[in-house]
């Protein structure tokens, strides 16, 4: 009474049959989905949720609230980089913290101590005394291409281990930190970041850390930024070894100014601007060198300096304690001077 199809009668699906555009799109989306979920599983074991307490006079741009003890509470993210418990995060997450609690995906929680932090790059390292850790590995941010997959993992709004995916939108962006300095090597991504994502990893399709998530521009959509991994690696190494990143200083207050065209032509200066000294710290490097208010610094070791950011760049660790040649405009005359930058504290 009932007719059943036998296996011989069932129409065969040939693997050689033409695939439609919808089939191909579906396969590509499935591959993308598997990539993101696979990377999330691989990396999430290393992502740390940080609960931070700061004295109430500390300005914390993370999620805040009073705990009744004169402390602000906030949260952020970090990621394990070694089996002995070093964790990378943002400086603005842990700077000035009186207590840091680190929670791992397996449910364990540990007190974390700050090893070092560098507000000028918004990078910090904390350490937890834990075993059986699964560290991440850094990738090479110099090989990144605009348009490649970027996956952010963190703890937005205190929700642990959230994953968002997007692409690398741009490379070589600059971002100004709370210290007023510019970070030069910044990745722009449209992978959604929210408060609490700060300090978490931005990873590629192989699970390698390509950036440290640091900022989102509100109310803009898809404007999120991460400190590139190569810069982060350099800073992290210095923080672990020395607890800080050393930079030079001249001991001046200054501002960038344009140079009158008559000076450019007469003095053959290869820059259109300079750094005008507004004040000189008594006993500082500039004071000892003979710099005074009104002087305009136009060259530092033969390099033009036409902005405060350029001056910050050349006053690096290598400049500390070394005689540096300066070309200075004073009363319309070009003057050669020598200064010995001190270490910035």
In the structure encoding, which two tokens stand for residue 333, read together? 């005359």
CA 122 to chain centre: 6
Q: Are 224 and 216 in contact (CB under 8 A)?
A: yes
Among 75, 92, 103, 306, which one carries the catalytic annotation? 92
Burial of 66 (0-12, 13-18, 19+ CB in 10 A): exposed
How many other CB atoms sit within 10 Å of the CB of residue 35?
A: 17
Q: Annotated catalytic, 198?
A: yes
CA angle 262, 268, 269 (to 5 degrees): 90
Q: Where are the beta strands (DSSP E) in the chain?
A: 47-55, 71-80, 86-89, 99-103, 109-118, 123-128, 149-154, 162-176, 182-189, 201-203, 209-216, 224-228, 248-249, 252-258, 273-280, 296-300, 303-304, 324-330, 333-339, 342-343
Among 198, 229, 285, 319, which one carries the catalytic annotation? 198
- What one-character DSSP code corresponds to residue 340? -
- What one-character DSSP code corresponds to residue 321? T
CA dihedral sign, ordered 301, 313, 245, 255: positive
- What one-character DSSP code corresponds to residue 235? H
Q: Annotated catalytic, 184?
A: no
Among 117, 118, 122, 185, which one carries the catalytic annotation? 122
Q: Annotated catalytic, 287?
A: no
**Calpha distance 47→102 (Å, rounded):** 10
Q: Are 251 and 280 in contact (CB under 8 A)?
A: yes
Q: Report how far apart, in Å, the C-alpha atoms of 172 and of each of 74, 144, 158, 166, 330 are.
A: 30, 11, 30, 18, 36
Q: How many CA atoms lie within 13 A of 249 on its CB side?
A: 12
Q: Residues with catalytic annotation?
A: 92, 122, 198
């Amino acid at each position: 009474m009932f007719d059943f199809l036998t296996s011989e009668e069932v129409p065969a699906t040939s693997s050689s049959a033409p695939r439609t555009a919808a089939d191909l799109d579906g396969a590509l989306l499935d591959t993308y989905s598997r990539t993101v979920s696979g990377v999330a599983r691989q990396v999430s074991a290393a992502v740390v949720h940080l609960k931070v307490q700061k004295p109430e006079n500390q300005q914390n741009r993370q999620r805040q609230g009073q705990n009744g003890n004169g402390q602000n509470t906030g949260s952020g993210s970090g990621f394990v980089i070694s089996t002995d418990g070093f964790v990378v995060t943002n400086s603005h997450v842990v700077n000035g913290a009186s207590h840091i609690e680190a929670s791992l995906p397996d449910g364990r929680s540990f007190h974390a101590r700050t090893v070092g932090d560098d507000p000028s790059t918004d990078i910090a390292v904390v350490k937890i005394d834990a075993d059986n850790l699964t560290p991440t590995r850094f990738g090479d941010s110099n090989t990144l291409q605009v348009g490649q997959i970027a996956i952010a993992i963190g703890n937005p709004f205190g929700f642990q281990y959230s994953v968002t995916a997007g692409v690398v939108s741009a490379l070589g962006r600059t971002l100004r930190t709370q210290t007023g300095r510019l970070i030069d090597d910044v990745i722009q991504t449209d992978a959604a970041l929210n408060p609490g994502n700060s300090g978490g990893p931005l990873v590629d399709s192989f699970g390698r850390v390509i950036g440290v998530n640091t900022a989102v521009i509100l109310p803009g959509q898809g404007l999120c930024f991460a400190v590139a991994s190569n810069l982060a690696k350099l800073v992290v190494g210095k923080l672990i070894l020395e607890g800080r990143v050393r930079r030079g200083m001249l001991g001046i207050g200054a501002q960038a100014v344009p140079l009158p065209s008559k000076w450019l032509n007469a003095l053959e200066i290869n820059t259109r601007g300079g750094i005008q000294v507004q004040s000189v710290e008594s006993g500082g490097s500039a004071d000892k060198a003979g710099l005074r208010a009104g002087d305009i610094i136009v060259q530092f070791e033969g390099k033009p300096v036409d902005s405060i950011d350029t001056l910050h760049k050349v006053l690096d660790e290598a400049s500390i304690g070394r005689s540096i040649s300066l070309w200075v405009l004073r009363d319309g005359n070009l003057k050669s001077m020598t200064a010995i930058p001190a270490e910035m504290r």
